[in-house]
Amino acid sequence: MIQRKSAREIELMKEAGKLVASLHRSIAAMIQPGITTKDIDDFVEQTLDQHGAKAAQKGYQGYEYATCASINDEICHGFPRRDKLEVGDIVTMDFVVDLNGGLADSAWTYEVGSVSEEAAALNKVTKEALYKGIEQAVHGNRIGDIGAAIQEYVEPHGYGIVRDFAGHGIGPTIHEEPNIPHYGAPGKGTRLKEGMVITIEPMINTGGWQSKMDSNGWTARTKDGSLSSQYEHTIVVQKGKPIITTDQDQEGLPAL
Ligand code: MF3
Ligand code: CO
Does the C-beta of 60 come closer than 6 Å to ligand 1?
Answer: yes
Question: pLDDT tens-digit profile of 92-123?
Answer: 999 999 999 999 999 999 999 999 999 999 99
CATH number of 7-244: 3.90.230.10
166 CA to centre of ligand 2 in angstroms: 9
Give yes or no for residue 68 CB within 6 A of ligand 1: yes
| 105 CA: nearest ligand 1 atom | 1
Helix (H, G, I), strand (E, B) or coil at 178: strand
**Ligand 1 mean position, distance from CA 22 (Å):** 19
Please tell me if the CB atom of residue 164 comes closer than 6 angstroms to any atom of ligand 1: no
Q: Is 41 in the pocket of ligand 1 (CB under 6 A)?
A: no
Between the CA of 111 and the centroid of ligand 2 the distance, in Å, is 19
Cα of 77 vs centre of ligand 1, distance in Å, is 6
3-state DSSP call for residue 211?
Answer: strand
Residue-range domain boundaries for the chain: 7-244
For 151-187, how does the pLDDT look when each residue is reduced to its tens digit (9 = 90+)? 999 999 999 999 999 999 999 999 999 999 999 999 9
Kindly state if the Cβ of 105 falls inside 6 Å of ligand 1.
yes
Ligand 1 atom index nearest CA of 95: 1
State residue 1's pLDDT score. 84
Low-confidence ranges of the chain (pLDDT < 70): none
Q: Please write down the long-range contacts of 152-156, taking CB distance under 8 Å and 24 or more positions apart.
A: 153/125, 153/128, 153/129, 154/125, 154/126, 154/129, 154/202, 154/204
pTM of this prediction? 0.98
Q: Is 167 exposed, middle or buried (0-12, 13-18, 19+ CB in 10 A)?
A: buried
